[in-house]
Amino acid sequence: MAQKLEAKGGKKGGVWDDGVHDGIRKVYVGQGQDCIAFVKFEYVDGFEVVVGDEHGKKTLLGTEEFEIDADDYLVYVEAFRDKATEESIVDLKFETYKGKTNKHIETSPGVKFVLHGGKIIGFHGRSSDVVHSIGAYVTFPSTPDLQGKWIKVHIHRNVQLRRIRGAFSSRVHNITKEMAQKVGPFGGNKGDAFDDGVLGYTGVKKVTVGENGNGVDCIKIEYEKDGRFETQMHGSVTGILKEFELNYPDEYITSIQGTYSNVARYNTTIVKTLTFKTSHGRTSPMFGNTAIFSTDFVVEGKAGAKLMGFHGRSGSALDAIGAHFFASTSPLKHIEPRGGFGGNAWDDGVYDGVSKISVGLNCGNIGYVRFKYVKGSTSVRHSHGKMSEEPKVFKVDYPNEYVTSVEGTYNFCGDVTSLTFKTSKGRVSPEFGKASGSKFVLAVKDHMLVGFCGRNGLILNCLSALGARFAPVPTPVPTPVPTPVAPVPAPVPAKKLEAKGGNHGAAWDDGFYEDVRKIYVGQGDSGVSFVKFEYDIGKKLVAGDGHGKMSLLGTEEFELDFPNEYIVSVEGCYDKVFGFEAEVVTMVKFKTNKRTSPPFGMDGGIPFVFEMKDHKIVGFHGKSGDYVHQVGVHVSPISKS
């Protein structure tokens, strides 16, 4: 699913939109007299390179090219618009996931804005003879934890993303405020306050320090967050940048030593020097410049605690610095992805357990994995990769049974070739794929698997590596003596109405419930590509599986006013579409006791209607592959009470 980031800059010129693609291959930037004269992008769609249109007008000042490596992708665009009129872009900086950047003006006049928030997969904007504005399309992780609302928090020379929900995800190793310790800041009291926030990050991968003849002018930190890396910068680049990289995630910063003093140039106190110590006993070089009259400081947590984030003050230089430390040991054990190198990283996070695993092959290797997790009373599903044949399923009787280990193999090309899962009941799944190449095992004694992470290849999108998180096996709770309760009336049996559509794809059946709460419909180029339903039973929400495959167009939602509203009929049509072996559902719409939904898809083909007098729809079934081929319903009598 792609999200469109609003174009920033001026309002002049004509609108252009390159649309959504799989990725960016190359960027062309043409210089004008005082601004960016034109831009052009080469995109990747599958195995094809798509050359976009030129936006703006070339000049005699030439064109700069920035090529993105095959195992890398764009994540960040920094731009400046003209300070006087704000009607043209005067500088553009592009940065990739691996930190590669194009040539650009280090200190740019104008009003700064940034585009980021995921993998950038397309651009749009306005242009005439020059580039007036630019926006982007980004993809976000499918993890529900990450699909909350976000706001931009403007920090000096930086824009940071922060969650505006009250609590942070349990993905971050169960870090709580009680486990975190905030130390400092030390230094001056000028500049703007910044705080990267301990609860949003898993750790620090790299620190870059800017130094000039007066001391430390800036600090740039590369953090891990939800399996991805984000960079925060504080201060101003006026001198030389020097890096200190950690052997992440095994190594982390345990303390900072430094000095601060008053500097005449800034007419205030700034940080003069910085030195970092790590859990591996390493000490970084000293960054900055010493002074005869300066104050020493040390930033460290208790008992070798792990530094999780920086805070302080910055403006034209780094005025003050402090840090957050993680002062407690997480019970979780994290096994890094095993297999080949490279590819797109993903991380499902941490849950209570795993209840179902689906594995599909692609070109003989593991091409697709889908995991059904349990979190409290709800189910959460994540899928990764691309399948060329129907996946095979291994069910786990959670909470009575849990996954204890995973065995796999990977070949010299870096693709995972086989996977086998073992459970606490001694059961072993079928071997998915065929074992060949190097073997790996994911297991922790007396622990249960509670989440997967990994990487998918950039070309065939096969699984290239798999890792996992394990939690201690909980102590069994004694079975309480049952208390007599009043008998619960048996649910009214439902009737299953035969599905309509093409006879192709894997059969699925959500079963029947008391009501339907919400419907998700995804559309592709040729019809309905994805459906998912949320049901109610005993006033509890039950999330059904997704059926089909989501396209880049995302999903539309139809939410019912539960419990006062229910579905009385489903209408739709199906048709034979070029390129498919059987008919696909091209449109569906839902009628309730209060209203009718908009049609999802295109009306045309063979119509169908599911409706029974004095009955409501309480479940769905059908067949699907990459598209939805059939859909049917379960109905039950409408209660007269």
Domains of the chain: 1-140 (2.100.10.30), 149-330 (2.100.10.30), 333-472 (2.100.10.30), 495-637 (2.100.10.30)
**Half-sphere exposure (CA, 13 Å, Cβ side) for 152?**
11
How far is Cα 590 from Cα 477, in angstroms, rounded to an integer?
Answer: 45
Burial 252-283 (b: 16+ CB within 10 A, else e): bbbbbbbbbbebeebebbbbbbbbbbbbeeee
- Position 219, amino acid: I
Contact indicator for 610, 622 with CB cutoff of 8 Å: no
CB 301 within 8 A of CB 183: yes
Distance CA(541)–CA(535), nearest Å, equals 6
Contact partners, residue 428, CB within 8 Å, separation at least 6: 420, 421, 422
Q: Give the model's pLDDT for residue 70.
A: 79
Kindly state the tokens that stand for 220.
Answer: 């740039």
CB atoms within 10 A of CB 220: 20
Grouping H, G, I as helix, E, B as strand and the rest as coil, residue 473 is: coil
586 burial type by CB count under 10 A (0-12 exposed, 13-18 middle, 19+ buried): buried
Whether this model's pTM surpasses 0.75: no
Residue 641's pLDDT is what?
59
Residue 41 class from Cβ within 10 Å (0-12 exposed, 13-18 middle, 19+ buried)?
buried
Prior bond to 185 cis, omega within 30?
yes
Query: What pLDDT is recorded for position 448?
Result: 95
Contact 242, 232 (CB under 8 A): no
CB proximity list for 598: less than 8 A, separation 6 or greater: 589
CA distances from 23 to 45, 69, 138 (A): 7, 11, 10
Collapsed DSSP state (helix, strand, coil) of residue 238: coil
CA angle in degrees (0–180, nearest 5) for 623-627-631? 35
Residue 9 has a CB neighbour count (10 Å cut-off) of 26
C-alpha to C-alpha distance for 631 and 587, rounded to whole angstroms: 11
CA distance 144 to 167: 14
Question: CA-to-CA distance for 287 and 276, rounded, in angstroms?
Answer: 9
Query: Is residue 233 a contact partner of residue 312, using CB atoms and an 8 Å limit?
Result: no
Partners of residue 340 on adjacent β-strands:
none
CA distance 295 to 272: 9
Q: Collect the ranges in the chain with pLDDT lower than 50.
A: 140-179, 198-199, 328, 488-490
Burial letters for 335-353: b for 16+ Cβ neighbours within 10 Å, e otherwise?
A: bebbbbebbbbbbbbbbbb
Q: Is the dihedral of CA 135, 140, 144, 146 positive or negative?
A: negative
Q: What is the largest CA-CA distance in the chain?
A: 90
Q: Looking at residue 101, what DSSP letter applies?
A: B
List b or e across 506-527, with b for residues whose CB sees 16 or more CB atoms inside 10 angstroms: eebebebbbbbbbbbbbbbebb
HSE-CB at 319 with a 13 A cutoff on CA atoms is 17
* Separation CA 571–CA 120 (nearest Å): 37
Percent composition of the chain: helix, strand, coil (DSSP 3-state, to 5): 0, 55, 40
Residue 1 DSSP code? -
Phi first, then psi: give them for residue 560, nearest 5 degrees: -90, 155
Distance of CA 411 to the CA centre of its chain: 27
Closest CA to 172 of 305, 369, 328, 303: 328
Q: Distance between CA atoms of 132 and 82, rounded to whole angstroms?
A: 9
